[in-house]
Amino acid sequence: MRASLLAGLQAEGSLPGGLGLKRRAKKLRQCLCQKGSAATVSDWLCVYAFAVSEENAAGHAVVTAPTNGAAGVIPALLYYAVSHLDASSEDIRTFLLTAAAIAQFQGPRLAARGKSVPHLIGHDVEDIVLNLKKERFLGENSQLVFLPEEDIVFDLGDPLPQHPNGMIFQVLSEDGDILLSDTCFSIGGGFLCRAEELEEDEQSFVDTMKKNYPYPFDSSKKMIEMSRESGHTVAEMKLANEGVELGEAGTKERLDTIWEVMRASLLAGLQAEGSLPGGLGLKRRAKKLRQCLCQKGSAATVSDWLCVYAFAVSEENAAGHAVVTAPTNGAA
């Protein structure tokens, strides 16, 4: 990981492919060095992410991040399949069910206990944050004074033992006494869960899985063996498992919703212009790159289109808008 990042910070020139994209990590790092103490943590994280992503795009060695979704990759593949290969809704569902089954190996207990936040879909998160900064209150029924610059504390020490992506919520009295406290974790795929849900006995969960689901598997080896023995595809087995809780119709409805959010995010990214939020002044590129490919016509390759679609969703992600991540597909 370290070697890949350092290599990306030193490399110059264009990335391979037909789009002529220039490497930017080295130049952005130089800009941050000039900014000195004015450079924020987010600025540096962005530059480091660029460095590794560009190494990845160049075909060099990188280490992916299991369960940390590559926001642009899966939507890009699906959108290409629909718009260029006439993939059907059933094809999309099969793909998503297979991806979900693979994600199960990384933490079946987390995914099953997680909670999504569908009420945020379709909302501009940036507007929500701006309103919060203006109103300085949380909650609709009971209003709590909230000052983000004072009340959000970034702990850069050791992570919480249950999961690295954790956040502690506390409600304090005027004297600073803790009135309420809860700990939540972001476990990937847009799911949240509370601390007590992570602390449940692992064996108890495995027993529950075996008892309630027709095709219980907790490793890729078991999944493949079960597929061969049953004569069902991975997607078919996963559909049967999910159907225990939601029914087949309910599961397909959820999958359709996921795809619609993916598609809407991608289309929004292809239309948006201007700069991305943050201190680096990065310009959106998806719309312009798409126009270039349209001009290329048949000379544009599959890789060219996938790159543009991935840019579109990645830029929506960077803008704080609704996206659907890709479980177990590392965001390099």
DSSP string for residues in 59-110: T------TTSB-TTHHHHHHHHHHHHH---HHHHHHHHHHHHHHHTTT-HHH
Q: Which fold has domain 125-198?
A: 60s Ribosomal Protein L30; Chain: A; (3.30.1330)
pLDDT (0 to 100) of residue 107? 41
- Kindly state the average pLDDT of the residues 223-236: 93
Domain coordinates in residue numbering, the chain: 1-87, 125-198, 251-331
Return the SS3 of 233: coil
DSSP H/E element including 54: helix 41-57
pLDDT one-digit tens code per residue, 238-287: 999 888 888 899 989 988 988 888 888 899 999 999 988 776 778 899 99
pLDDT (0 to 100) of residue 111? 37
pLDDT one-digit tens code per residue, 168-202: 989 888 888 998 899 988 776 556 778 877 776 45
- Please check the confidence at residue 17 and state whether its pLDDT lies above 50: yes
pLDDT one-digit tens code per residue, 52-109: 777 777 777 655 443 334 444 455 566 567 766 788 888 878 877 776 665 544 443 3
- Kindly state the average pLDDT of the residues 40-45: 70
pLDDT one-digit tens code per residue, 119-128: 555 555 666 6
What mean pLDDT value characterizes the chain? 75
Task: Give pTM, 2 decimals.
Answer: 0.59
CA distance 217 to 239: 13
Main-chain dihedrals φ then ψ at residue 255, nearest 5 degrees = -65, -40
pLDDT (0 to 100) of residue 188? 61
Residue 322 one-letter amino acid: A
